[in-house]
Structure 1
């Protein structure tokens, strides 16, 4: 039996800005029969500098509106800061919705490292979150884990993917603390704990003082979404979805062009 595309609910992908596009790209490959709605809370960007309670309230309030308006099959919260802070609140507030979260990939990093030296490159909010420290305690207690909170990289990544030039010195200043030498060993894995950062991965590789594995969680998040969202045999890709919504209502020209490059229209 063939299911008409418009009968399939969309998958909503949420981020503070455009970093979640790295996750959307992978999700589309694994979920070709689904339509996607991309939500960028650019009016609140960047999340890293917010106080916890106001940001938690903002995210839950936003989702109250988004879920009612779009009625998605599932939500991918493609933002470490948002999910480590408000993931529990979202699941409590909306118990009937499937939420696929984004958390720092500390467990796979601990499993892969050979030197035992792992760095987590994140926003200041993710670094200070108890959730992040609990992950380290649970899965990486035998590793030396350095938490590096960058104030500026999310903005830099957004500018870079829009085509702006970013000075090497500025990027290097943000990533240098990730590289640790201890007792003859060197950091061999850096966890990219912000979905914006993979946009700069090639720059990171070029500037790094030695080769490391830059761990991008996007594919793992997409695999988890595929596990939680049922595959409907014979389903056709629906029309009317695959659009982006910016909470400011004022995305600039370069942002609109970028969205088009990802196959998204602007709502």
Structure 2
């Protein structure tokens, strides 16, 4: 039996969507949630600087927490640094988050699929390679939203959001070609599922919003399947913020997910 945690990492609170699904599948596991709020938003970073930050940050996190595995619950960080993290820390098991283009391509009936992501994820070669590998039989529209991750954080903290702002960010994903319309939108940022209800409400027409959190959690469960479980103690798992000083609203959010801030 091991007491080592699974580390779930994101730039903000978006990775809580993955943590939620992971706990459903692995109720006897310990977790530590890490939010790089000091670096948020990642879209403002130059690629090499962000990559260096992630490599250094994960070195410190692995030394401190000695996790069973590290879940990078962030498309931007995964598409940029997953390979280099595996190279730098070969003994650690990493599970990344990449756009769910394969399942979207398999499910679409209209052949029109959109990927709603951050600008960084949209421009990554990793994303282009996924489209080339799995999206050949459909037409994939990539839309990089500058504001949506921040809107999700705002919504989580305050419970209110300007729905017209949400519509402005998602509208480019809705494509019409003759009688065909976009029928699947891939949510390629873990922040976005927090706005799913607002997206459905403001969408020009109904679509299938593809949230990868459950699939990521299943992969994590497979990766750590050979490790022992813990006995449930009732203690809250820790949430670590790189700023060292999350605000009251953020503390309230993570507490609602069964986490205690350190």
Query: TM-score, with normalisation over the residues of structure 2?
Result: 0.97
Pairs within 5 Å for 1:1-267: 3=1, 7-230=2-225, 235-237=230-232, 242-267=237-262
Give 1:240 shift. 6.2
Question: C-alpha separation between the residues in 1 aligned to 2:52 and 2:30?
Answer: 28
State the Cα deviation string for residues 39-97 of structure 1 (Å, max 9, x = none).
00000001122111000000001001000010000011000000000000000000000
Question: Tell me, what secondary structure is at the counterpart of 2:158?
Answer: coil
Contact 1:23 1:222 in 2 (8 A): yes
Give 1:231 shift. 5.7
Closer, same or farther in 2 for the Cα pair 1:64/1:233, shift >3 Å?
A: closer
Give 1:236 shift. 1.1
Give 1:243 shift. 0.8
Count of matched residue pairs: 262
Contact 1:33 1:235 in 2 (8 A): yes
Give 1:163 shift. 2.1
Question: C-alpha separation between the residues in 2 aligned to 1:234 and 1:124?
Answer: 39
Closer, same or farther in 2 for the Cα pair 1:238/1:35, shift >3 Å?
A: farther
Moved more, 214-223 or 47-56: 47-56
Moved more, 34-43 or 232-241: 232-241
State the Cα deviation string for residues 141-185 of structure 1 (Å, max 9, x = none).
121100000000000000101124211111111000000001310
Question: C-alpha separation between the residues in 2 aligned to 1:68 and 1:52?
Answer: 24
Greater than 6 Å deviation, 4+ residue runs: none
Question: C-alpha separation between the residues in 1 aligned to 2:250 and 2:128?
Answer: 34
Q: RMSD in angstroms over aligned alpha carbons?
A: 1.3
Moved more, 159-168 or 91-100: 159-168
Question: C-alpha separation between the residues in 2 aligned to 1:248 and 1:124?
Answer: 24
Structure 2 spans left out of the alignment, 5+ residues:
none
Question: Tell me, what secondary structure is at the counterpart of 1:165?
Answer: coil
Question: C-alpha separation between the residues in 2 aligned to 1:36 and 1:24?
Answer: 8
Structure 1 spans left out of the alignment, 5+ residues:
none
Contact 1:109 1:189 in 2 (8 A): yes
